[in-house]
């Protein structure tokens, strides 16, 4: 059965049902990952809109520097009430997350995206270490602290992540997410989102179908899936 944990609706009934607890858990880390343009950001913006409708305060850490306020508004986001930050480095982004978590003033925050959390040393070109090693270390240090602070202030933090292909994998799944294993480990819920087909009106493509799989779920049974539509 589902644990007694406060959840908020994702804004999608079929996804809420697949999650088994009526939505995503407060006070926890959630990871949403998928290929390029699979609807990850759209899903999080719909979630923010749903949370705002319930009177929750939301923040968007835009490490990609790609948030489109017009599109967000179209999805129902109250842009004026949304706290938006555009950090320059991965460390700065994670420090902002931690500060917001500690403040107790935020209910839901979204980090877009893990791939864009570039360590300061790399931006400044001190490339002694490989990117993957640096980024993984930065994330694992931040996650431990963040997990405790989120729990204490009952704030949810959603990380958007991309899929990349592991090099030289002969057997098994060549796909992996960026940023090492810390996020996989610390996330209470992990969602895998994929485009499955186009939605047409006549000859015009007006959106696409997505399939969202609940790959990890610490608050209810995992491995359920939801079909949803994203309209342009």
| Domain assignment of residue 4, yes or no | no
The CA-based angle 79-80-81, given to 5 degrees, is 90
Is the pLDDT confidence value at 9 over 80? yes
| pTM attached to this predicted model | 0.92
At residue 62 the predicted structure's pLDDT band, cuts being 50, 70 and 90, is: very high
> Hey, what are 180's tokens?
């090492």
> CATH no. for residue 192?
3.40.50.300
Share of the chain above pLDDT 90, in %: 70
| Domain assignment of residue 144, yes or no | yes
| Domain assignment of residue 16, yes or no | no
> Hey, what are 162's tokens?
């991309």
Amino acid 38: pLDDT? 87
| Domain assignment of residue 121, yes or no | no
Which tens digits make up the pLDDT trace of 183-192?
A: 999 999 999 9
Domain that holds residue 202: 25-116+132-231
Amino acid 173: pLDDT? 80
Name beta bridge partners: 152: none
At residue 73 the predicted structure's pLDDT band, cuts being 50, 70 and 90, is: very high
Mean pLDDT over each residue of the chain, to the nearest integer: 91
Instruction: Give dist(CA 174, CA 89) in Å, integer.
Output: 28
Amino acid 33: pLDDT? 96
Which tens digits make up the pLDDT trace of 143-175?
A: 999 999 999 999 999 999 998 887 887 787 888
| Cα separation values, 169 from 47, 141, 175, Å | 35, 28, 9
Q: Pick 4 or 187 by higher pLDDT.
A: 187
Name beta bridge partners: 50: none
| Domain assignment of residue 19, yes or no | no
At residue 2 the predicted structure's pLDDT band, cuts being 50, 70 and 90, is: low
At residue 4 the predicted structure's pLDDT band, cuts being 50, 70 and 90, is: confident
Instruction: Say how many domains are in the chain.
Output: 1
Instruction: Give dist(CA 19, CA 220) in Å, integer.
Output: 7
Instruction: Give dist(CA 81, CA 47) in Å, integer.
Output: 14
What would the mean pLDDT of 27-40 be, rounded to a whole number? 93
């Amino acid at each position: 059965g589902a644990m007694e944990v406060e959840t908020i609706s994702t804004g999608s009934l079929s996804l809420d049902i697949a999650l088994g607890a009526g939505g995503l858990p407060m006070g926890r880390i959630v990871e949403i990952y998928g290929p390029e343009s699979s609807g990850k950001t759209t899903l999080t913006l719909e979630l923010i809109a749903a949370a705002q409708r319930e009177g929750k305060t939301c923040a968007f850490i835009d490490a990609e520097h790609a948030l489109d306020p017009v599109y967000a508004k179209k999805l129902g986001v109250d842009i004026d009430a949304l706290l938006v930050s555009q950090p320059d480095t991965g460390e700065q982004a994670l420090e902002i997350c931690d500060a917001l978590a500690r403040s107790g003033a935020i209910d839901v925050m979204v980090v877009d995206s893990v791939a864009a959390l570039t360590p300061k040393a790399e931006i400044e070109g001190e490339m002694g270490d490989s990117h993957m090693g640096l980024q993984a270390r930065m994330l694992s240090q931040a996650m431990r602290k963040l997990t405790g602070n989120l729990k204490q202030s009952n704030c949810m933090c959603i990380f958007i992540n991309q899929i990349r292909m592991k090099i030289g994998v002969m057997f098994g799944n060549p796909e992996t997410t960026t940023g090492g294993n810390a996020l996989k480990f610390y996330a209470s819920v992990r969602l895998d989102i994929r485009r499955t087909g186009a939605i047409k009106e006549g000859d015009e493509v007006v959106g696409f179908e997505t399939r969202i799989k609940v790959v990890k779920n610490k608050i209810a049974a995992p491995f359920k899936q939801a079909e949803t539509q994203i309209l342009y």
